[in-house]
Structure 1
Amino acid sequence: MSLTTIIFDLDDTLYPRGTGPLQEVGRRIHQWLIEQMGLEPDEAKVVRRRYAERYGTTLGGLVAEHHVDVDEYLLFVHDIPVERYVQPNPDLAAMLERLPLRKVVYTNATAEYSQRVMQALGIATHFDRIVGIEDVDFRNKPYRDAFERALHLFGGIRGTQAIMVEDMARNLVSAKALGLKTILVNGGPESHIDFVVDHVLQVEQVVDNLLRPDGSTSHTT
């Protein structure tokens, strides 16, 4: 089946790892655990690590193990001035313009926050749709049912019609199982990773190779 859609993760994928607002989101998650759950700072670190390992995100653990106001939590942790952390990226915008596929974003963050980040990067107009954590009933990547819901929201596309670009290898396990081509940004090769690139701008070459009539390409760029 022909490829029609490329799905991008947001944080640490559309901008280089460690340079954007995700670290500030993490700081606010830590603050929320201390203020709302009464944890000591060291306890909050342990809880975040445990939830991330077991559920994929801190929110996943909070939903599974506690009765929390999810909307209030998400509003608090994403209430940051993203323009302080990311600036317009003309090279990224030009690359997205050249990609001959429909472009969408699927993120464990909220759609509203994602829209602000994309606007700050100067790339928002290149994307048809954002699916945020609230759109999949707060069921986060890497869970398969979350990916299935996202594909439905992207118009009922089949996995074999799409490429997923991510910075976290574990988030690509379900994508690969559903038939998506998988591209890992800034990581190492694993069995469920089709291609590894050092930077999101290198995604263009992978896509060009995938769209060749013979489909020939290497698995690293």
Structure 2
Amino acid sequence: MNITTIIFDLDDTLYSPDTGIWNLIRDRIDSYMQIKLGYPSDKVSYMRETYFKKYGTTLRGLQTEHHIDAADYLEYVHDIPVNKILQKNQVLIEILSKIPQRKVIFTNSDRWHTQRVLSTLGIDQFFTQIIDILDISPYCKPMPEAFEIALNNFCITKLDECLMIDDSYRNIKAAQSMGLSTIWVSSQNNQDPEKDLIRINNILELDPLLVY
């Protein structure tokens, strides 16, 4: 692969899902829906998943159905103690330091959460640009429009020179449909229906040779 730019996802990609960060964010989403929108506790999880599947993110679902303020929602759901859960990852620092290509972040989270995660992991210096959920509004991954906005903002014109690394299978498939090379970060073998799909169990398995 003649790769010049690598697009990294953030959550559950640059750190392990075993950290439990998503569980905390999920609980904050449920709390937001109950406290601010009046969803009953026995329905909130179902509706969160329904919006996620239908609209791409729960945020987009709540914006469509309730016209909520995105910034208020993002501040609320990402109000978690990132610095008490994650820590500086020296192995990841060494891996990223050996990869010469331009590295950027494309995430359905917001910039504040992204910067906290990168800083806590000790890897913020490796990324030259962040495209977050507000930058691609009213869209989100895996929507083609979201990718088009991100690629335009990253000034990427040669899609065959771009690699995307993400933990979401649907995001990976969306990237492939646009002509990007991909690496899927997933430890769940039963979710790998394509044998030729490049997959690693976690980001620490990222071999710099894969992206040269």
Q: TM-score, normalised by structure 1?
A: 0.88
Question: Residues 61-210 of structure 1: matches in 2 within 5 Å?
Answer: 61-186=61-186, 187=188, 188-191=191-194, 194-204=197-207, 207-209=208-210
The structure with higher relative contact order (CA 8 Å, sep 6+) is 2
SS in 2 for 1:60: helix
Q: Identity rate of aligned residues, in percent?
A: 38
SS in 1 for 2:176: helix
Letter in 1 for 2:162: A
Verify the 8 A CA contact 1:10 1:106 in the aligned structure 2: yes
Unaligned regions of 5+ residues in structure 1, if any?
A: 212-221
Distance in 1 separating the partners of 2:55 and 2:81: 28
Moved over 6 A (4+): none
**For each residue in 1:73-127, what CA deviation from the matched residue of structure 2 results, as whole angstroms up to 9, or x when unmatched?**
1111112221011100000011001012111111000012101100000000011
Distance in 2 separating the partners of 1:26 and 1:16: 16
Residue in 1 that maps onto 2:26: 26
Verify the 8 A CA contact 2:6 2:101 in the aligned structure 1: yes
Distance in 2 separating the partners of 1:192 and 1:105: 27
Residue in 2 that maps onto 1:214: none
Unaligned regions of 5+ residues in structure 2, if any?
A: none
Q: TM-score, normalised by structure 2?
A: 0.92
Letter in 1 for 2:192: P
